[in-house]
Every structure is written in structure tokens, then in C-alpha cells.
Structure 1
Amino acid sequence: MAGPGLAGACHDQGVTSLLVAAGQAVPTNGDPAANVALAADLTRRAGARGVRLLVLPEAFLTGYDWAAFDRVRDTGQPRVETLEELTEPLRAAAAEAGCAVLVCTPLLRGDDMRLTTLVVRPDATVEAAYDKQHVDRLELPWFTPGPRGPVVLDVEGVKVAPAICYDSRFPEHAATAAACGAEVYAVSTAYLEGSTRGRAVSLPARALDNGMFVVAGAALGTCGDRPVTGGSCVLDPEGHELATLGTEPGLAVAELDLDLLAEVRARQTMHADRLG
């Protein structure tokens, strides 16, 4: 899945733009079926606006909640072997909307549970595409870190690198993806009340340091008794906001100008000048 090089444009040369959305809504903690239906609704709404890539928050299919993670262990679901059945409504919505969806869920593989980005494509397929590599210490009672190394997906001829929340706090995670051709850093994230400084600093820095667009779907709801604060956004390759949400459900929609990306990379060569 990794692509070549960093200099200039890496997308298909006939592709000049991509309409994207970062989505957020309040999930039902511990109810994957209800949250798949919620993701399907967001997908249809995004498709009605012409969106071709929708990025949803961290752990969206269960809710970002400790008790919900316990329930995954207790019920044995979601599990990689039953993904197609679980996501059928979302796969149908993606096909109807003509929109690729990146949605994060806790996912069991044997005895391991990982935080996984699923890619649901307009051909109604689903793939467990990426596992969170940097697992926060609060999450370690439940989750195993995923294998190291970048994953770069092709979406409408544009190179997209998935990331999950804490991954984005580590500059080398985005830098490695950019070095493998990524043009969009697609982050599924969750910020508990009191932890939003990371969103304000890290996401623009990842964009600016690597000349990449950032599309971040941020969770709403509660984790136990702590609010989860939203703040989904789309950033340009210099870290400027193209679209953003506060604490309300909705879609942050923006068009990614890939000619601008090539221009920024030609003008600001930090990523190309990185030492060794």
C-alpha cells in the first residue's frame, strides 16, 4: 500500500481536487449496530454534497468509552471475521453515495484487540486497513499496538495515509507516510475534555511539516463521565483551516486543491530537506 517518493505531486496527474469531509456525531456507546447505521447516515449526507472521502472519529463503531471497550471483550464483537456482516448498511451507503469512508473501531483478531481504521469503498467492500501504532497508556488495558510502518491508500487517485489519534502526536508517523507518497493525513481522533491542546498544535504541525492536507474526524459524546469534545477539521498543507466543527454533530466539508499541494511542496521544502 505504500507509494513512492515525496517531491511534488504524487496523485494521478489527471486529478486536480478531491472533495472531503470530516464527520462527527454522538454514538451509542457499546452498540456497534446502531453506530454503523449512524455512520451510514453521515455517509449518505456526505454523498449528497458530492464528498468522495469521509473520515469519521476514533472508535466510532463502539463509542470512545472504557465500558464500551469492555463490552467488545465480553461479546467478542466486532471481530475481523464478521466485518462484512456488521458493516453491510455502511457498505450499502458508501455504494449509494459514491464515497469512500474511513471509520475506526475496536476490532478483535484472535485474542488481540486493536483500534483499527476500516476503509469502506464505493464498490461496497470493507477492509481492515490500518491499526493504531501509538496506543495511549490509558488504552493499554484493552488494545495491542499495530505493526509499525506506513499505510497509504488510493482514494480517487489521491494518496491517503490513515492515522488514529495519538499517532498524530508523533511527527515521524506523518513524516514516514509523506515519504511514502501520502498527500492526505486522515486522522480518526477523540479528545477528552482537557486534552484539546494536542488538536490545536499537533494537527497543523503535521500538515505544515510535511506539506500534507489533514482531514480529522473527532469524536463526540462521553467517555465514562468525561465529555468528548469534537472539533473535526480539514487543514491545508500549511496548517490553515479549510473547514471546522465545534461540539455540534455534522460534516466539515472542503475541497482539497492538489495543485496547491504541489505548489506548497515546491515552495516549502522542509520535508524534502529532512536529514537522513
Structure 2
Amino acid sequence: MKVYSVQFDIVWENQPANFAKIESMLEAAQPDRNSLVLLPEMFACGFTMNVEQAVEEKGNQREFIRRIAKEHDVYVVGGVVAPGPDGKGQNQSVAHSPAGDEIACYTKMQPFNVRGEGDAYPAGNEPVTFDWCGVTVAPFICYDLRFPEVFRLIAQSNVELITVMASWPDKRILHWVRLLQARAIENQCHIVASNRCGTDPHLNYNGRSLIADFNGEILADAGDREEVLSVDLDFELLREYRAGLPFLKDMRQDLIGRPLT
């Protein structure tokens, strides 16, 4: 089953320019029907704390995801900023089906408070999952990656694919790669990750969007350039591996909290 990770230099606080860039990249990539396409965190504006500039207007960011999902007949997971209470926003990972239906909405559980993200975009409280052609998928966002307990909440829910969208800076890029590999290994999941590249007024980004298997082996790596990665993931092999080494069954649920219901 084919997955795609889109990596590009997000134009700062310029939604039309970023929509156009994604459209152009997907038109060139021509993703397979019913494949899954992952876009970066806050793809429409960059990782800005300016909520007024970042928030979607009348659902335009969701509408963009819906439209490209229908046009390319694919599942699309993209990072939107939804309006929240008291003038704040919500940093979300939203999934749409090829029919254009919204099938999942996850609000980032771990805001990056080093940059004051929680003041602009308060934390969500629940992980979510969705079905992609018989595969259970769990979406996460950027800083979530540093908190393995967040991923453990979904580990007993037969999740087979984790998506991580991000705005992860170059200074800590080694952590990004190693943590993605760790989350894949410890949860026996394939993982697809989309990070931005380029610069914004505050940070530099060198990408390293990647796709890794359940062994943590990197199957594709975008490096520091604009790129659409693609890999055909083998879920039957993953299921055979889990059956032979059923580590997840030995998790102490009383130590990691309640399971996702």
C-alpha cells in the first residue's frame, strides 16, 4: 500500500502560495489511487504563533485538503489551524478520504511550550485513529514525538501505521530521525513523517521527512530538499512480524494508562 510524504519550504503566513505549491508537487507526483498522502504541520502558514494569520478562514484549509483528496482519489492527512475559544487556535492533523469526507481530526496533545505554543494553540486531550483501506492509522504532530507515553495510548488498538507531521528545526534533526525510528520499533508500526524544509523568520529546517518500517529501517529519506517521497508498505509482513514476536501483548496497561476506546 503506497504512502507519500510531502516536504516543502512553507511560505511564511501565505496560505494561497502554499496551496499552490502543494498542488504543483502532487500534480507532478501523481499519487496512486487510494494511497495516503501526508502534508507537514501547519502547511498553510508555517509554525507561526500569529493565530490570526494561521487560522483557517471559513474552513479553507480543510476545504483544500478535501479538494486535493477528491482530485487525486487519495487519502490526505494535513496540518490545519482551526479556530478555538478565546481567540486561540487549534493545531490539528486532519484526514480526508478520496470521497472528500473528513474521517479524523486530531488536536496536538503536546504543544511546544518552549516557543509558547500552548498559549496560542492549547493542547488536545485524546489520540484518534482512522481506517485506511483496512489499516488502522494514528496521526500525531511534531513535539508529540518526544513523549512515548502518548504513542503507547494507541499501541493496543491494532494501529499499524503512525503519521507524524512536523516543523522540526535543523539543530535537533538527529533527535527527529532517532525518535521516529524508536516509535516505529517500540510500537511495531510502519511510520510516515513529513517535516518542512527551508527557513522562517525564526528557524532553519533541513527536512529529513522519511518513511520507516516496523524495524526502524529508513525506507526513504527526503534529505533537505523539496520532495515527495513514496514507498509501497508491506502490511502483511508487519502482521507476520507481530505474530512471531508479540511484544505488544506484554505491555502493562496498568502502568501506561487506559487503552483507547
- TM-score in terms of structure 2 length: 0.88
1:223-265 CA distances to partner (integer Å, 9 max, x unpaired)?
Answer: 3242112111110011101111101111111011011111221
1:106-150 CA distances to partner (integer Å, 9 max, x unpaired)?
Answer: 221232312111213211234661100011111233210012x32
Query: Residue 112 of structure 2 aligns with which residue?
Result: 136
**In structure 2, which of residues 121, 141, 148 is the aligned counterpart of residue 164 of structure 1?**
141
Deviation at 1:95, TM superposition (A): 1.2
Query: SS where residue 105 of structure 1 aligns?
Result: strand
Can you give the 5+ residue segments of structure 2 that lack an aligned partner in the other structure?
Answer: 254-261
Query: Residue 73 of structure 2 aligns with which residue?
Result: 98
Query: SS where residue 194 of structure 1 aligns?
Result: helix
CA 1:210/1:76 → structure 2, altered by over 3 Å: closer, same or farther? closer
Query: Residue 119 of structure 1 aligns with which residue?
Result: 95
CA 1:121/1:40 → structure 2, altered by over 3 Å: closer, same or farther? farther
Are the equivalent residues in 1 in contact too, given 2:13–2:54 (CA < 8 A)?
no
1:62-88 CA distances to partner (integer Å, 9 max, x unpaired)?
Answer: 112x3xx31x32x58315xx21x4444
- TM-score in terms of structure 1 length: 0.83
Aligned residue pairs: how many? Answer: 250
Are the equivalent residues in 1 in contact too, given 2:177–2:208 (CA < 8 A)?
no
Inter-partner Cα distance in structure 2 for 1:52 and 1:251: 13
Inter-partner Cα distance in structure 2 for 1:86 and 1:266: 40
Inter-partner Cα distance in structure 2 for 1:274 and 1:222: 41
- Is 2:234 the partner of 1:251? no
- Is 2:123 the partner of 1:145? yes
Are the equivalent residues in 2 in contact too, given 1:36–1:90 (CA < 8 A)?
no
Deviation at 1:191, TM superposition (A): 1.5
Are the equivalent residues in 2 in contact too, given 1:46–1:54 (CA < 8 A)?
no
Inter-partner Cα distance in structure 1 for 2:54 and 2:188: 41
Query: Residue 9 of structure 1 aligns with which residue?
Result: none
Query: SS where residue 240 of structure 2 aligns?
Result: helix
**In structure 2, which of residues 10, 13, 16 is the aligned counterpart of residue 33 of structure 1?**
16
Higher-RCO chain (CA-CA 8 Å, sequence separation at least 6)? 1
Inter-partner Cα distance in structure 2 for 1:27 and 1:195: 19
Are the equivalent residues in 1 in contact too, given 2:221–2:229 (CA < 8 A)?
yes
Q: RMSD over aligned Cα, in angstroms?
A: 2.0
Inter-partner Cα distance in structure 2 for 1:140 and 1:174: 20
Inter-partner Cα distance in structure 1 for 2:31 and 2:186: 33
Query: SS where residue 67 of structure 2 aligns?
Result: helix
Inter-partner Cα distance in structure 1 for 2:237 and 2:149: 23
Inter-partner Cα distance in structure 2 for 1:61 and 1:250: 17
Letter in 2 for 1:210: N
Higher deviation after alignment, 171-180 or 36-45? 36-45
Deviation at 1:57, TM superposition (A): 1.1
Query: Residue 36 of structure 2 aligns with which residue?
Result: 53
Inter-partner Cα distance in structure 2 for 1:76 and 1:202: 27
Letter in 2 for 1:63: G
Inter-partner Cα distance in structure 2 for 1:205 and 1:127: 27
Are the equivalent residues in 1 in contact too, given 2:162–2:190 (CA < 8 A)?
yes
Inter-partner Cα distance in structure 2 for 1:19 and 1:274: 30
